[in-house]
Amino acid sequence: MNGKKLKITVLILAFCLLCSNAAFAWNMACDSELSSGIINIGGYSVTSTDIVCDEVEAYSELYRNYTLVDYDFVLNYDVTWAQTEVSVGNPLGIQHFAIYGDHRSKDGQVEYNDSSYSMRDI
């Protein structure tokens, strides 16, 4: 009898895990590359889910010295991830850069939201 209860419990747990919709694995980066005397600053934001969702969204903003210089928005349907990319070229002198990201996923009536932040002085 205990074996049967264990099997039922495992099946219920597996069903709950398959039906979950947790937005996770958001990532931010701010990198510089010197090529031909031009400095490029860029980053990305990824929203990923553990199941195929109705909507997966990513939004990024790139700030240079607290001024918005680039943004990107992606809304994908019936997928597991969305990625945005932001960049700016040829900054002069020492500057402060920050990337802000919003992450959202929705499956049916269940919706998850989160945000991330990364900064760097160049």
Report the pLDDT value the prediction gives residue 31, as an integer from 0 to 100: 63
Low-confidence spans in the chain with pLDDT less than 70: 1-38, 91-92
Cα–Cα nearest to 35, from 110, 116, 89, 97 = 89
Q: What is residue 21's predicted lDDT score, i.e. its pLDDT?
A: 53
Closest CA to 63 of 117, 27, 115: 117
Beta strand 23-28 pairing with 67-89 = unpaired
Predicted confidence at residue 77, as pLDDT, reads 95
The answer for residues whose C-beta is within 8 angstroms of residue 7's C-beta and 6 or more apart is: none
What is the predicted pLDDT for the residue at 93? Answer: 72
What's domain 22-121's architecture?
Sandwich (2.60)
- Write down the domain spans for the chain: 22-121
Per-residue confidence (pLDDT) for residue 18, from 0 to 100 = 45
Q: Is the pTM of this model over 0.75?
A: no
